[in-house]
Amino acid sequence: MRPLLPAVLLLAACAQETPTAPEKKPVTAVPAASAAATVEPAVTDRLVLSDQEWRQRLTPEQFTVLRQQGTERPFCGGYTASKDHGPGTYRCAGCGNPLFDGGQKFESGTGWPSFWHCFKGRVALKRDASHGMERTEVVCARCDGHLGHLFDDGPAPTGARFCINAVSLRFDPWIPPTRPPGARMAVFAAGCFWGVEAHFRSLPGVVDARVGYIGGRTNAPTYEQVCSHGTGHAEAVEVVYDPAITSYERLLDAFFQGHDPTTVDRQGPDVGDQYRSAVFPADSAEQAAFQAAVTRWQPRFKAPIVTRSEPPATFWPAEEYHQRYQAKRGLGIGCH
Q: Enumerate residues 6+ apart whose C-beta is below 8 A from 288.
A: none
From the centroid of its chain, how far is CA 335? 14
Residue 92 annotated among the catalytic residues of the structure: no
Whether 54 and 111 map to the same domain: the answer is yes
Those residues of the chain that have pLDDT short of 50 are: 1-25, 32-40, 81-83, 336
Residue 192 annotated among the catalytic residues of the structure: yes
Whether 124 and 161 map to the same domain: the answer is yes
Select which of 14, 95, 140, 192 is catalytic. 192
pLDDT at position 35: 36
Domain housing 96: 9-173
Global confidence as pTM:
0.55
How many Cα atoms are found within 13 Å in the side-chain-facing hemisphere of 206? 22
Whether 16 and 140 map to the same domain: the answer is yes
Closest Cα to residue 149, out of 129, 171, 119? 129
Whether 127 and 159 map to the same domain: the answer is yes
For residue 150, list its beta bridge partners.
136, 162
Q: How many domains does the chain have?
A: 2
pLDDT at position 208: 92
Select which of 95, 118, 163, 335 is catalytic. 163
